[in-house]
Structure 1
Amino acid sequence: MADQPLTDWDSDLFDCCEDAQTCCYGFWCGPCLACTVSGRFGESLWLPLCDMCVDKMISPAALSLRVAMRHKYGIKGSLCKDIVATSCCPTCVWCQMYRELKHRKKSPVVINMEVQSPVNMQPHPMMAVPPQPVFNR
């Protein structure tokens, strides 16, 4: 990603009103949302359970996935900002990452092309001249 310019997150950390469905998912079932984000990003579905097993101020799974997502997609930020975000509101971080994955995983545009029939490039057969008899003298 070093060759491409860095971009911003598709949505801000506190943009829950932009996607109410994701916000509700994170509020009512935060662990389920975290597992969904982890799985969709290609990590173990159970990675967020580490956050529940650790007496912490910072959610290690949320922090590590946020940093990995920033690096994979070339998103602006720093480790310090990621630590602040995950310690202030880990649920908002999971929601933001979910929205980012939804944005990145949009269905690609499919273009249907009509297959054209092949063009015959061989010349038309020429009339063959019957062979002339050879006479020996």
Structure 2
Amino acid sequence: MAVQQQVSSVMTTQGSAAWSTGLFDPYEDKKTCGYAVCCFPCMQCETAKDFGWFFLMPLLDTLACGLVSWKLRSSMRERYDIRGSCMDDLCMVCCCYPCVWCQMHREVKIKK
């Protein structure tokens, strides 16, 4: 039992806040959804740049099988003190890739 508690405490970052918008909240910011539909790579690059990363990093996601998105989401969660874990981030990126990017774009806009 003690081992299980220790493992789960290592895997989870105890942030104090939740994401400002939900993963499936396109109506929170219709402009972001429209931007993603019209030019998804542009929205990704803008999000990375506004977060302080090199703006072309998201374009490496195709070669890196989503690892750039996973790392960006984890970094964003840590910087903004958002509850969650690396495993949550990985699952979200793998299952809901476009929605994750829209959520991260909204979060960066809100935190600016």
Query: TM-score scaled by structure 2?
Result: 0.83
The alpha-carbon distance between structure 1 residues 5 and 62, as it changes in their structure 2 partners (threshold 3 A), is: closer
Higher Rg: 1
> Could you tell me whether the CA contact under 8 Å between 1:66 and 1:97 is conserved in 2?
yes
Q: Aligned ranges for residues 40-55 of structure 1 at < 5 Å?
A: 40-54=50-64
Query: If each structure's helix is expressed as a fraction of its own residues, which one has the higher value?
Result: 2
Give the structure, 1 or 2, with the largest relative contact order (CA under 8 Å, sep 6 or more).
Answer: 2
Give me the whole-angstrom Cα distance separating, in 1, the residues matched to 2:25 and 2:58.
22
Identical amino acids, percent of aligned pairs: 40
Shift of 1:5: 5.7
- The C-alpha deviation readout for 1:10-67, integer Å capped at 9, x for no partner, is 000111111111011112211111100100000000100111234x3xx111110000
Instruction: Please name the residue that 1:32 is paired with.
Output: 42
The one-letter amino acid paired with 1:42 is: G
Give me the whole-angstrom Cα distance separating, in 1, the residues matched to 2:85 and 2:15.
15
Runs of 4 or more off by more than 4 Å in structure 1? Answer: none
Q: Aligned ranges for residues 99-118 of structure 1 at < 5 Å?
A: 99-105=106-112
> Could you tell me whether the CA contact under 8 Å between 2:35 and 2:43 is conserved in 1?
yes
Question: Tell me, which stretches of 5 or more residues in structure 2 are unaligned?
Answer: 1-13
> Could you tell me whether the CA contact under 8 Å between 1:38 and 1:45 is conserved in 2?
yes
> Could you tell me whether the CA contact under 8 Å between 1:27 and 1:91 is conserved in 2?
no
Question: Tell me, which stretches of 5 or more residues in structure 1 are unaligned?
Answer: 106-137
Instruction: Please name the residue that 1:110 is paired with.
Output: none
Number of matched pairs: 99
